[in-house]
């Protein structure tokens, strides 16, 4: 509950800051944890389990039932006595008032009630873990979507830089054509390349709008229409495999939730075993009954009769033979317990393998990122040299165009490497269960 209050306060501060339109990933995550529909649905499911836990004290309480009734009758009576006399009367009214208060308190049922309460507590704890897992998955999805928008913004910026180079190419081709040192095909090709970049920029702008709408959808459309994201993709390049897989069984919410299934199955087994023992109960009743006969036709019939009083005692019920229902229930509970243990071992293996696979991707992405960060500087310098050489007539049109294409390819690889490194980092933290820290 404390976590929810903190998240609510954080989300409120985020929404108040949206007036500046430039929204950070932390603000987006804060709002998503409060507004995302999947998170809210899982929280609702968890709340139902918590309600069961809070009311589980009821398994120790007695069952108290109150009953009451009031009846009015109108009878026609005819009686023939042994001496042969006959009495008959119609429309004889009478009324009856009865009430009772019954108590049944199970004192011992083979410790089944204790197992039931413990099972409900484990289900509630599991519900909290599932809510946390949904939050982590939502955070991962929001981060990936947010930085995908940033990625496409960087791609748009790279296209703009390519357009600048193409515009310079067009100017140089026109100048060379005017002085008679160039050919028209060079000018036409330069304009074709420039128009291609203009078209790519339009498509890129449309893609950014679509991705922003998708990100806003994860936040239940809480973001303003004209919001902006950051321009950079920060990545932690210092994660280690040991840091991720060490103690992962105590930090991965899916593993923890799966482990809870073992505890739940254990308590279910104890419930089934408890059915073999006798049930000892304390019983008590208070009864009240009153009958009024307005008219009788027999001198031995009561005009008024009232009874009240209480009784109490103990009862015991011992199952002896019930078509092997208890035996079957115990065996099925044992089978379920073994299945949950196997499922946990399987999930633990999947989490470990998933972390290793994700780390391989992460390690490859960060190595690639270092290379591409260096490569983009080389590609930019090469384009600058080719432009200057082309102005002096040293480099050819084909060499300049090749250098420009190399710069475009270098930008594509660099931006993809930045995004892939961030996605890999997010996946590692998701498997570790550290995205909410």
Percent share of the chain, pLDDT over 70: 94
CATH topology of domain 2-35+109-278+321-432: Outer membrane efflux proteins (OEP) (1.20.1600)
**In the predicted model, what is the mean pLDDT of residues 51-56?**
92
Q: At residue 222, what are phi and psi to the nearest 5 degrees?
A: -85, -15
Task: State the residue for tokens 């008032």.
Answer: 97
Which residues lie closer than 8 Å to 436 by C-beta, 6 or more apart?
Answer: 132, 135, 136, 139
DSSP, collapsed to helix, strand or coil, labels residue 102 as strand
pLDDT tens-digit profile of 122-161? 999 999 999 999 999 999 999 999 999 999 999 999 999 9
* pLDDT(350) > 80: yes
Over residues 251-276, mean pLDDT: 94
User: Which structure tokens are listed for 231?
Assistant: 């321009």
Q: What is the CA radius of gyration of the chain?
A: 40
Q: Is the pTM of this model over 0.75?
A: yes
What contacts 192, CB < 8 A, 6 or more positions away? none
Confidence class of residue 82 from pLDDT cuts 50, 70 and 90? confident
Contact 112, 275 (CB under 8 A): yes
CB atoms near residue 245 (< 10 Å) = 20
pLDDT band at 306 (very low <50, low <70, confident <90, very high): confident
| Per-domain boundaries in the chain | 2-35+109-278+321-432
Q: Give the CA distances from residue 117 to residues 60, 114, 274, in Å, rounded to whole numbers and listed in that order.
A: 9, 5, 13
Confidence of residue 75 (pLDDT cuts 50, 70, 90): confident
Residue 89 has a pLDDT of 77
Quick check: 259 and 344 in contact, CB under 8 A?
A: yes
Q: At 271, is the secondary structure helix, strand, or coil?
A: helix
């Amino acid at each position: 509950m404390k976590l929810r209050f903190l998240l609510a306060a954080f989300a409120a501060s985020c929404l108040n800051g949206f007036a500046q339109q430039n929204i950070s990933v932390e603000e987006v995550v804060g709002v998503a944890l409060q507004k995302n529909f999947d998170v809210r649905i899982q929280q609702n499911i968890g709340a139902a389990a918590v309600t069961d836990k809070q009311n589980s004290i009821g398994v120790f309480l007695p069952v108290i039932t109150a009953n009451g009734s009031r009846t009015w009758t109108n009878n026609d009576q005819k009686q023939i006595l042994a001496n042969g006399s006959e009495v008959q009367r119609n429309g004889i009214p009478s009324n009856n008032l009865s009430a009772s208060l019954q108590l049944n308190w199970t004192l011992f049922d083979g410790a089944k009630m204790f197992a039931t309460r413990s099972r409900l507590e484990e289900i509630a704890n599991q519900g909290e873990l599932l809510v946390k897992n949904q939050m982590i998955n939502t955070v991962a999805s929001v981060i990936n979507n947010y930085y995908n928008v940033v990625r496409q913004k960087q791609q748009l910026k790279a296209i703009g830089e390519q357009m600048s180079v193409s515009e310079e190419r067009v100017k140089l081709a026109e100048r060379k054509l005017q002085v008679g040192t160039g050919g028209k095909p060079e000018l036409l090709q330069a304009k074709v390349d420039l128009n291609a970049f203009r078209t790519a920029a339009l498509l890129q702008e449309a893609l950014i709008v679509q991705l922003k709408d998708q990100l806003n959808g994860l936040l239940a459309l809480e973001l303003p229409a004209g919001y902006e994201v950051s321009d950079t993709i920060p990545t932690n390049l210092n994660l280690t495999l040991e840091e991720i897989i060490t103690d992962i069984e105590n930090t991965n919410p899916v593993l923890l939730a799966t482990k809870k299934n073992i505890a739940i199955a254990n308590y279910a087994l104890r419930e089934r075993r408890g059915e073999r023992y006798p049930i000892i109960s304390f019983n008590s009743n208070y009864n009240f009954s009153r009958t009024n006969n307005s008219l009788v036709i027999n001198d031995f019939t009561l005009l008024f009769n009232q009874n009240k009083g209480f009784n109490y005692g103990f009862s015991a019920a011992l199952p002896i033979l019930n078509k092997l229902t208890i035996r079957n229930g115990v065996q099925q509970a044992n089978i379920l317990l073994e299945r949950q243990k196997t499922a946990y071992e399987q999930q633990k293996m999947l989490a470990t393998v998933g972390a290793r696979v994700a780390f391989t991707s992460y390690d490859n992405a960060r190595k690639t990122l270092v290379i591409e960060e260096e490569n983009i500087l080389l590609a930019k310098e090469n384009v600058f040299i080719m432009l200057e050489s082309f102005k002096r007539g040293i480099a050819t049109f084909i060499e300049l165009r090749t250098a420009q294409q190399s710069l475009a390819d270098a930008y594509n690889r660099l931006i993809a490497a930045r995004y892939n490194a961030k996605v890999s980092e997010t996946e590692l933290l998701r498997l570790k269960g550290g995205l909410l820290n």
